[in-house]
Amino acid sequence: MFDYRRYSAAESAELANTSFGLAVFGQLQPIYESQIGSLAKALGQAMPPGVTANQINVALPAGWSDVGPAALGLGPDAVDRDGYYIIESPLTGRTYSGAQAKVYEERDAHGQVTRLSVTFAGTNSPVDLADYTQLNSGEIAPNMNPLLTAVRDYALGNGLTADDVIVTGYSLGAAYTNVMAKYANTLAGGFFADSNYIAHAVPYTYEGDDRVLNIGYENDVVHRTAGDFDSLGEAVQASSGMMGQDYALKSSTDNLILFGDDYANPAWPYGPFALYNIPGGWAAHVAGLTTDAVARITQSAFYGETARDSLVIVSNLTGATRGVTWVEDVQRPSDRHDHVGDSAFLIGSQYGDRLRGNVGNDYIDAMAGDDTIRPGDGQNRIEGGSGTDTLEVSGTMRDWSVSRLADGTTAFFSTSYGLDIVSGVEQVTFLDAGLVGQGRSYAIESDRLEDLTWNGSLAFLDQDVAYTPAWQGTAGNDTLTGSRVFGLAGNDVLTGTRSSDLLSGGAGDDRLDGRGGNDAIYGGEGNDVLTGGGGRDLLNGGLGDDLFVVDARQSGRVTIEDFRLSDVEQDRIRIVGSTIRSDAELRRHGEQTADGLLLHLGASDLLIEHATWSTLTPGTVSFG
């Protein structure tokens, strides 16, 4: 999600976390000669664990420290009484607490300077408000030159290049980061053109040159509110008076949600999602200063599967609501594109969370604590993390079959509710009533599901469940055939039988063909090819750009469950064995239903769930 320029995923994650620590410390330490950051940290440490959303820790990242004006060859008047470097505003001049920046350096164990940071301060006084009016047009950029020239010379004197400089900030400071990036080819002789620009909770974005990574939350009214327009007037006009926007911008995280107590309330944001609605729209902006959400995202077991615009929902509930509130994808005014039902990543906290999926293919990482996890329909991947975690699934035990896989995961499959691949979870509860298994809970053991209904002298009444055998692949590329097949890792070729089959590709670019019968085919992660036809087949590609092949000569009905559910996927459909040869002709053989698009292809029908005709853009469907 935070991949940046040429850096690896691990290096990009480090930049995201380090820049966040610098930006927050630079924002809160100090304000009007008060050590706000230190006070917030002390308050957080004084509270019992679990009261707040996470342990508050406002501090410079390890190894980093201030660089004073003397080191940069500047006079004492270069900084204000709070220790911030003064950047002259084109509107308010050198007014105290106006445009400000900090310069930090990182040193290694030998005392050598290894990296520098220019960290712009965000709004910390009413004086700053005037400068919001010139962010889009960038008048302040030339006034950054005196400080940036001094930083450039200090970097060169310590053997550093532009690549060793992190430019960052929070809120208004994030906007200044984007302004500097926009004019980096000319500022300080162009030295900072190749520096690293990581901004947090940004109101204004610069979209050129792939130069900036803007990290922020969809439910923060400030994040992206001014878009990437060239003037404030254009931004105001586009947002109908600076209402909160859900702009799709390539430099920013567009679907990241900080799920706090406020967001959980169905009445949120208690009025318009707008800049002037401070109690509603600004909650995530303020909470963003002390949350460890960025760190938890990068530490998630599924971080490698995320992309810049993945739907990621991070628990930020307090102890007052955490035990009774589901963290889930819900419809809120901040979501103008209605991603409810899309594939989502749900991330828990170090405490006991309640995490609930939707109809998409969800990735749920509960992390620490004793968590309750309730997946939705579809193809889901669940990691319980540390603690004693409970998986809650719909139906009774009779609705499910369970297999233990060679990679240590456990596969729960139901023709009614989908496929859940689970690890790090200790218990499972089947929620629905029935003659057998009403509210029954089991411990997930290595060789069985251990019935927890009875103990002691009545343990003989236990109805333990044996795992269902399955054909399984390896970490390499496998070719497998069977009625219940798990490819696991690698680029696998999986083939079903003429009866009803379950095929699961797992990670890798897999090819899965159900053949005859009523098949359930799940691609997993990767760019998969799924072939259905003959019987009633369900195809679910999972994450990746998948190709769904439908043989219209085979009688039956094929259902594609997850066609382009995520913003980051470019799935395609190929129809073979049909007389239909064009998109226009396809429209004459289809109808919009409540479940999606139903296409009559000949002997076979194709249902594309959740889709409309607008989903099938040119080139989406091919004919063979």
Per-residue model confidence as pLDDT tens digits over 328-376 = 999 999 987 788 889 999 999 999 999 999 988 999 999 999 999 999 9
| Edge-to-edge strand list for the sheet holding 256-259 | 256-259, 311-315, 344-347, 363-365, 379-383, 418-423, 410-414, 401-404
- Which of 144-158, 188-202, 436-450, 580-594 shows the lowest per-residue confidence on average (mean pLDDT)? 436-450
Question: Is the per-residue pLDDT at 71 higher than 50?
Answer: yes
Instruction: Tell me what pLDDT residue 516 has.
Output: 87
Question: Is the per-residue pLDDT at 25 higher than 50?
Answer: yes
Confirm if 477 and 491 have CB atoms less than 8 A apart.
Answer: yes
Instruction: Tell me what pLDDT residue 386 has.
Output: 96
Neighbours of 32 (CB within 10 A): 11
Instruction: Tell me what pLDDT residue 434 has.
Output: 56
The C-alpha atoms of residue 503 and residue 483 are separated, in whole angstroms, by: 8
Question: Is the per-residue pLDDT at 389 higher than 50?
Answer: yes
Q: What is the dihedral angle through the alpha carbons of 434, 439, 440, 445, rounded to the nearest 10 degrees?
A: 130
Residue type, 436: V
Instruction: Tell me what pLDDT residue 58 has.
Output: 87
Instruction: Tell me what pLDDT residue 101 has.
Output: 98
Instruction: Tell me what pLDDT residue 546 has.
Output: 98
Instruction: Tell me what pLDDT residue 470 has.
Output: 98
Residue 438 binned pLDDT confidence (cut-offs 50, 70, 90): low
Residue 241 binned pLDDT confidence (cut-offs 50, 70, 90): low
Average pLDDT over the chain, rounded to an integer: 94
Instruction: Tell me what pLDDT residue 437 has.
Output: 45
Residue 53 binned pLDDT confidence (cut-offs 50, 70, 90): confident
Tell me the per-residue pLDDT of 115-170, one tens digit each, with 9 for 90 and over: 999 999 999 999 999 999 999 999 999 999 999 999 999 999 999 999 999 999 99
Question: Is the per-residue pLDDT at 456 higher than 80?
Answer: no
The C-alpha atoms of residue 110 and residue 113 are separated, in whole angstroms, by: 9
The C-alpha atoms of residue 524 and residue 542 are separated, in whole angstroms, by: 5
Confirm if 96 and 88 have CB atoms less than 8 A apart.
Answer: no
- Which of 27-41, 111-125, 516-530, 545-559 shows the lowest per-residue confidence on average (mean pLDDT)? 27-41
Instruction: Tell me what pLDDT residue 433 has.
Output: 61
Average confidence (pLDDT) over 535-562: 96
* Cα 556–chain centre separation: 37
Instruction: Tell me what pLDDT residue 325 has.
Output: 98
Question: Is the per-residue pLDDT at 435 higher than 60?
Answer: no
Helix 36-46 vs helix 9-28: crossing angle, to nearest 10:
110
Average confidence (pLDDT) over 227-246: 81
Instruction: Tell me what pLDDT residue 606 has.
Output: 97
The C-alpha atoms of residue 239 and residue 324 are separated, in whole angstroms, by: 36
Question: Is the per-residue pLDDT at 33 higher than 80?
Answer: no
Instruction: Tell me what pLDDT residue 359 has.
Output: 86
